[in-house]
Chains A and B, each alone.
Chain A
Amino acid sequence: MATIALTVNDQAHVLDVEPRTLLVELLRERLRLTGTHVGCDTSQCGACTVWVDGKSVKSCTMLAVEAEGAAVTTIEGLAGTHAGAQPDPASHPALHPDLHPALHPMQAAFQACHGLQCGFCTPGMVMSAAELVRRNPRPTAGEVRHWLEGNLCRCTGYHNIVEAVLAAAETPGGAR
């Protein structure tokens, strides 16, 4: 067992982990942050993408102990990283309070542009895309497609994902 200290979505944790534990296992199984998904075993699909110190990382390729001292952001914490976005007025009023935080502009754009269907690749896709727009505030469609080559989607054909990323980039504050 190794002891690691890290913050996840601004919350500090000190945890004993087996050295072989992957970061994605720590997130899903220990912290029960199940928004980060596992879609493959060869680091191809990108469904497990999170931010480690602000950079997108496939959390299946990283040991939990490597995250010692790091600040990890998962899809559950993304909305909180952006104070300016407004709640979607069309949202269902009966939704659980957990579902009410303001959306990050990338999340809002995915909904507006129908950039998700089954939702399984979506967390990784959104985390990756949000980092792209932070690095490159006005990407072209070609740059978006190239950037997202590490994220597989079987439902959307990527068309509306690209639209969503371009729309988010045009949103004031979307590059945050």
Chain B
Amino acid sequence: MSAAPRYPDAAGHAGIGAAVTRREDRRFLLGKGRYTDDIQLPGQAWAVFVRSPHAHAAIRSLDATRALASPGVLAVLTGDDVAADGLGSLPCGWQIKNKDGSVMVEPPHPALAQGKVRHAGDPVAMIVAGTRAQAREAAKLLEVDYQPLPVVARLADAAGAAAPLVWDEAPGNVCFDWHLGDAAATDAAFAAAERVVSIDLVNNRVAPNAIEPRAANGWYDAVEDRYTLYTTSQNPHLTRLLLGAFTLKVPEHKLRVVAPDVGGGFGSKIFHYAEELLVLWASKRVGRPVKWTAERSESFLSDAHGRDHISHAELALDGSGKFLALRVRTLANLGAYLSTFAPAIPTYLYATLLSGPYAIPAIYAEVKALFTHTVPVDAVRGAGRPEASYLLERLVDKAARELGVDRVELRRRNFVRPDQFPYQTAVALQYDTGDYEATLDLALQAIDHAGLERRKAEARARGKLRGFGISTYLEACGIAPSALVGALGARAGLYEAATVRVHPTGSVTVFTGSHSHGQGHETTFAQLVVEQLGVPLENVEIVHGDTDRIPFGMGTYGSRSAAVGGSAIVKAMDKIVDKGKKIAAHLLEASVADVEFAEGKFRVTGTDREKAFGEVAFAAYVPHNYPIETVEPGLEESAFYDPKNFTFPAGCHAVEVEVDPETGAVEVVDVAIADDVGVVINPMIVDGQAHGGLAHGIGQALLEECVYDASGQLLSGSFMSYCMPRAADLPAFKVGNHATPCTHNPTGIKGVGEVGAIGVPPAVINAVLDALAPLGVTHLEMPATPEKVWRAIRAAGQAGRAGQTAPATPQTPEIGGAA
């Protein structure tokens, strides 16, 4: 390889901490990746879905005569067929309880619409044909007679008394009305507060947009009476479980789910979608494998969206700027149907994070979740935590402005201090460790905060407004202790499973329930094996994504793979070492207690008598000289790791922007972040995860939004109209790290996959508001598009001329600033 690596040469070390280049890269770089749509089965047939053009309508009639007569058509399947064959409703994996203890409204979610459609894109019929082109042609010939019905498409309208109902069983469109925290204590703290600062914010709705569209290829093998599904999934075992127990209703041993190479997920590929069920069902009906691949415009109408909150928050402070209490009211959009994890996102992944990195003695949050005639809303990168960090970090900045306190200093004053861990928040979580000042200082240094005023002056001379913003975020990942989440409404355990198979010659295959769709597990998980068993990297293989090969798994989401999946692998390797010691003790004629294992060798403590790992593995499979009475042959161990707590990555994201006051265009000119993600297996991969999250977060802050019109049409429904971040929209990123290892898992890992998307959006908007402060602009919503910024500048200018300037913007002295 000719290009120089950017990380220091690890001198052959390939264990924890080494920036090993990725082992999966060659197949991708040579065009040899195998994604779902690449898989072509013998006799392959194609499916195309006919989707509702209306956001809300009754299906009066459906005539498939012409479609069925179209060349190559094998079947036209509808909601009636789904019902007749007894396919189950798509299930929801989390049940939230209302304030009064009653349970949320849980409407049915048929795989194909039955009687009514409830969002534009709701699937009405499935056309199966010999080729994709034939299926598309036939889809145009299906005649559906819709009776359009009144629509509620926007969250802000859904709670109104006159709002049309998405579900008759959900009055006021309320799915649940939930709360967390101590209302009385919070009220008391507010009553005693010297200052109260409030904010109203919208968290914009976003589309996940993994570059690989979702796809599914289902095959029913009549000879074996067995189903195989290839699907773009982040968690094939969960998909198998839901297919088996709820939708297809076939026992798991008759089901194989394979998630091969998957082209990004960002949450959207966690959920069990109708198409996965339907291709399997259709395959049995037509006697051929059936494949479906989404077109991008179809992805916008069928992948679960994210965010979509409207919130009001109030922060109570004492005279010295100490936070006393926080009160939050949020409306959350769930869309038309409950997606797999939807209810958990605006509740236990959101309100529990409202303390951020701060010591806030009392917090009370109320979340009302509403149905609308839109695509279901569920987890997208960050899932609840970006909504919490955005709300809190915008509010803290506003408090600093209103109190005339430096915003960095206000944060320092309220951080949970290192001597306060474990820290019990007012919203149910207990933080195990962290050092929030350390990451704050690192980020400020990296962005040369001391030079800010000079850069602002220099920008002014060029006619630009420069602004600085930070967010000191905290998130929770490593989801999650099963008993805890079970008590909170989860209908699944959230452990992870691993099997470590040592082969007779000492090479190792790891079967993991985590799934890699860009995270690089084939490299990082192998590094765990190198570190613990002392086996060379090339002798380790990581297997994931196939329910026939891997015993079980809960999959990859919530930045859990390394913290939970990695811990399961480590636990399985602990068992390998324990058994290996017994075998080695026999071979070395020593007592087990005297055998130690390090750097791939079992050694009698204090001697040079040793057996290499490979020798012990060989003995385990060729047990001629072996403790056969007490130890079984073979060397393979499995572990299920159930986390003891969440992990709590945290850090500081610092951003500088320049705004063109003539056009409203915002340029992100500098981003410096410092994250505490715990122990890092591979710094190159960890930095890459942070980069991707930053782009995602900057996209939400400045570019991305799912816009619905009043009739429920998604106006930003393609890459022509939905603004994805492009290379020229982003600067180079400065990424720093300060680890306080997680205290309760065997690896010390916290998780990194989502930190960028969680931390950076408020930093960007805080920076834009800082840039616009001299013009009197005090508020902006995401995405801060040029139009929105330009209008805010104009409005502030008019208000100023009319002598009715909105809240005066105090000059905020910056740390090390204008000296």
> Could you list which residues of chain A lie within 8 angstroms of chain B, going by C-beta atoms?
18, 20, 28, 32-42, 44-45, 47, 74-76, 79, 85-86, 88-96, 98-99, 101, 103, 105, 107-114, 116-123, 126, 141-142, 144-146, 148-149, 151-164, 167-168, 170-172, 174
Which residue of chain A has the shortest Cβ distance to B526 in the bound complex? Answer: A92
List residues of chain B with CB within 8 A of the CB of A35.
Answer: 30-33
Chain A neighbourhood of B730, CB < 8 A: 145, 157-159
Which residues of the partner chain A approach B696 to less than 8 Å between Cβ atoms? 154, 157
Chain A interface main SS type: loop
Measured in the bound complex, the distance between the Cα atoms of B212 and A39 in whole Å is 5
How far is B34's CA from A35's CA once the two chains are assembled, in angstroms? 8
Q: What separation, in Å, do the CA atoms of A160 and B32 have in the docked complex? A: 21
Within the complex, the shortest CB–CB distance from A114 to chain B, in Å, comes to: 5
B593 at interface by CB-CB < 8 Å: no
Residues of B within 8 A of A120 (CB): 33, 35, 210-212, 263-264
| Contact of A98 with B2 in the complex, beta carbons under 8 Å | no
| Further pairs besides A76-B31, A149-B727, A158-B725: 14, Cβ < 8 Å | A38-B37, A39-B211, A39-B296, A44-B719, A76-B32, A105-B2, A112-B4, A112-B5, A114-B687, A118-B210, A118-B212, A118-B517, A160-B688, A170-B3
Choice from A36, A40, A112 contacting B1 with Cβ under 8 Å:
A112
Whether A36 pairs with B31 at a CB distance below 8 angstroms is yes
| Best-buried of A98, A122, A167 by chain B (most CB within 10 Å) | A122
Can you give 22 contacting A-B residue pairs, CB < 8 Å? A34-B37, A39-B213, A42-B719, A44-B724, A75-B31, A88-B1, A98-B30, A99-B32, A103-B1, A111-B26, A112-B6, A117-B518, A118-B264, A120-B263, A145-B728, A153-B727, A154-B211, A157-B696, A157-B733, A158-B695, A158-B727, A160-B691
Chain B residue nearest in CB terms to A44:
B719
Q: With the chains together, A162 CA to B3 CA distance in Å?
A: 13
A90 & B21 in contact (Cβ 8 Å cutoff): yes
Tell me which residues across on chain B come within 8 A of A40, comparing CB atoms.
Answer: 295-296, 718-719
Within 8 A of A (CB), among B8-55: 20-35, 37-38, 40
Q: Kindly name the residue among A101, A111, A160 whose own CB sees the greatest number of chain B CB atoms within 10 A.
A: A111
Cα A161 to Cα B29 in complex, Å, equals 13
The interface residues of chain B lying within 8 Å CB-to-CB of A126 are: 29
A110 touching B4, Cβ below 8 Å: no
> In B519-544, which residues have CB < 8 Å from any A CB?
519-520, 538, 541
Q: Is A117 a contact partner of B692 (Cβ separation < 8 A)? A: yes
Known contacts: A116-B25, A156-B692. The answer to whether A162 contacts B727 by CB under 8 A is: yes
- Please indicate the chain A residues that have their CB under 8 angstroms from the CB of B520 in the complex: 117
Number of interface residues of B (CB under 8 A): 68
Within the assembled complex, what's the spacing in Å between the Cα atoms of A89 and B21? 11
A172 touching B2, Cβ below 8 Å = yes
A38 to B732, CA, bound (A): 27
Interface centre among A18, A74, A154 (most CB of B within 10 A): A154
Contact (Cβ within 8 A) B297 A37 = no
| A111 proximity list for chain B (CB < 8 A) | 1, 21-22, 25-26, 29
* Residue from A18, A114, A161, A164 with most neighbouring chain B CB atoms (10 Å): A114
Contact A156 B35 (CB under 8 A): no
Bitwise, B728-772 to A at CB < 8 A (1) or not (0) is 101011000000000000000000000010000000000000000
Highest count of chain B CB atoms <10 Å: which of A33, A37, A159: A159
Q: Is the C-beta of B161 less than 8 angstroms from some C-beta in chain A? A: no
Q: Does B355 contact A (CB under 8 A)?
A: no
CB proximity of B133 to chain A, nearest CB, Å: 8
B472 to chain A, nearest CB (A): 21
Give chain A residues whose Cβ lies under 8 Å from the Cβ of B538.
92-94
The answer, among A33, A45, A116, A148, for a CB contact under 8 Å with B29, is: A116
By beta carbon, the residue of chain B nearest A166 is B3
Contacts of A101 on B, CB cut-off 8 Å?
A: 30
Is the pair A118, B30 in contact by a Cβ cutoff of 8 Å?
no
In chain A, what residue has the closest Cβ to B728?
A145
6 smallest CB-CB distances across A and B, nearest first, come from: A35-B31, A120-B263, A119-B28, A118-B518, A157-B695, A117-B518
Minimum CB–CB distance for A175 against chain B, Å? 12
> B693: which A residues are within 8 A, CB to CB?
157
Q: Which of B26, B297, B519, B727 has the most CB of A within 10 A?
A: B727
**Is A99 touching B31 in the complex (CB atoms < 8 A)?**
no
A42 adjacent to B720 (CB under 8 Å):
yes
CA distance A123 to B27 in the complex (A): 11
B261 interfacial contact with A, CB 8 Å: yes
Pair B1/A168 contact, Cβ less than 8 Å: no
Residues of chain A contacted by B297 (CB below 8 angstroms): 41-42
Q: Indicate if B262 sits at the interface (CB-CB under 8 A).
A: yes
With contacts A111-B1, A121-B211, A172-B2 taken as known, whether A152 is within 8 angstroms of B26 at the C-beta atoms is: no
Assuming the contacts A41-B296, A158-B695, asked whether A114 and B688 have C-beta atoms less than 8 A apart, the reply is yes
B262: which A residues are within 8 A, CB to CB? 118
Decide if A37 touches B32 in the complex (CB within 8 Å). no
Residues in A neighbouring B20, C-beta threshold 8 A = 90
When C-beta atoms are compared, the residue in chain A nearest to B264 turns out to be A118
Q: Does B684 contact A (CB under 8 A)?
A: yes
Q: Complex Cα distance A33/B6, Å? A: 32
Please name all residues of chain B whose beta carbon is closer than 8 Å to the beta carbon of A148 when the two chains form the complex. Answer: 726-728
Min C-beta distance of A152 to chain B, whole Å:
5
